[in-house]
Amino acid sequence: MSTIDNRRRALVTGCAGFLGSHLSERLIADGYEVVGIDCFTDYYAREIKESNIARLRDEPGFTLLEMDLSSDPVEGLLEGVDEVYHLAAQAGVRGSFGDSFELYVRNNVQSTQRLLEQAARNPVGSFVYASSSSVYGNAAASPTPEGAPRQPISPYGMTKVATEDIAGVYHRNHGVPTVGLRYFTAYGPRQRPDMAFNRFIRSGLAGKPIAILGDGMQVRDFTYVADVIEGTRAASARGKAGSVYNIGGGQPVTLLSAIELIEQLVERRIVVEHRPAARGDVRMTGADCSLAADELGVTPSVTLAEGLAAEVEWMLAATTRGAVTSPVPASIAA
């Protein structure tokens, strides 16, 4: 692959997903050539992912490679690549229990190891990878600093711990400039259809009850997608190799409080139906973002009210296009 007009080249895995598509667009806007990788798993509908990258497909600086990093040949994949953003992963806390755990190991751990192996053979300027607040489990303190014990309570969270550990191995042994980002409950336009706000807004706009798993007093540090992308770009530019940073919204709220905000935005009362709590869901998340502020120079700038308003606006447009699926019971994904 040859660069276009000597642009810097970035490789983005999971480019058709929620965060990957936003990041790819940001990189294109910043003048990068972007090589996007996605294997279009059936975790949710392919047409949703295709709509995420519709604008990117029209960009001459964007190339899509449809491939499975856990099994397809990856030799030479990073030749000529300046920056790696590894966001591809098997998502979902509840689905990681049982027989499907093998899929999480393959897509979260094995894929990461194979990409790191290529980075060891073809040095890159930065290797930023996605971790999760799920690594903390039920943290003893909130806000939670990066030095807190990692004690996941779901197989999904365990694979993210393994992802951090394998990145550390390649940094120590081969000098791969890995920087991990523990994302705290990202939301906003293009949010995955299985995630809470997507489901809740759909239900609210349709005048249907919201089904939640648990009592609704779970606390989450919701992080707007633009703040996630800003932190991710800063991690590539200024992150210390071998480090891990929290990327959070800085405004932890209860689930019921968030639903009240959604009620105001959709201008109707929403009936909440409580169902049994799901295993693997932590009680509280809250990011101590002081390290990201000090070393990456980023702090969250979008309030929950502002971010939810943007997601509602996007959802209204998606509803008009007929690109919305039926709501189903939700817990909070990390």
Does a structural domain hold residue 101? yes
Phi, psi of 294 (to 5 degrees): -70, -45
What pLDDT is attached to residue 318? 81
Residue 54 has pLDDT above 50, yes or no: yes
Lowest-confidence region among 44-48, 68-72, 121-125, 323-327 = 323-327
The average confidence (pLDDT) of the chain is 93
163 & 194 share domain: no
Residue 323 has pLDDT above 90, yes or no: no
* Parallel, antiparallel or unpaired: strands 178-183 and 83-86: unpaired
CB atoms within 10 A of CB 168: 15
| Closest to 153 (Cα-Cα) out of 166, 135, 171, 167 | 135
pTM, entire model: 0.94
Active site residue 156: yes
CB 185 within 8 A of CB 221: yes
Mean pLDDT of 216-227: 97
258 & 125 share domain: no
Q: What percent of the chain has pLDDT over 90?
A: 88
104 & 233 share domain: yes
Residue 46 CA to residue 40 CA, distance in Å, equals: 6
138 & 226 share domain: yes
Does a structural domain hold residue 290? no
210 & 309 share domain: yes
139 & 280 share domain: no
CB 258 within 8 A of CB 195: no
Lowest-confidence region among 11-25, 212-226, 313-327 = 313-327
Mean pLDDT of 40-55: 94
Cis? peptide before 143, omega within 30° of 0: yes
Does a structural domain hold residue 175? yes
Does a structural domain hold residue 330? no
Q: How many residues does the chain have?
A: 334
Residue 105 has pLDDT above 80, yes or no: yes
Q: How many domains does the chain have?
A: 2
Does a structural domain hold residue 3? no
Q: What is the CA radius of gyration of the chain?
A: 19
147 & 236 share domain: yes
CB 246 within 8 A of CB 288: yes
226 & 238 share domain: yes
- Tell me the CATH number at 93: 3.40.50.720
What pLDDT is attached to residue 314? 96
What residues make up the domain containing 281?
188-220+250-285+302-321
**CA triple 122-89-100, angle to 5 deg:** 130
Among 136, 156, 183, 245, the active-site one is 156
Does a structural domain hold residue 280? yes
Residue 148 CA to residue 139 CA, distance in Å, equals: 8
56 & 105 share domain: yes
Q: How does pLDDT run across 229-278, given as a tens digit for each residue? A: 999 999 999 999 999 999 999 989 999 999 999 999 999 999 999 999 88
Residue 231 CA to residue 240 CA, distance in Å, equals: 13
192 & 52 share domain: no
What pLDDT is attached to residue 321? 67
Q: What is the DSSP letter of 264?
A: H
Mean pLDDT of 301-312: 97
State both tokens at 63: 């190339």
Mean pLDDT of 279-291: 95
202 & 313 share domain: yes
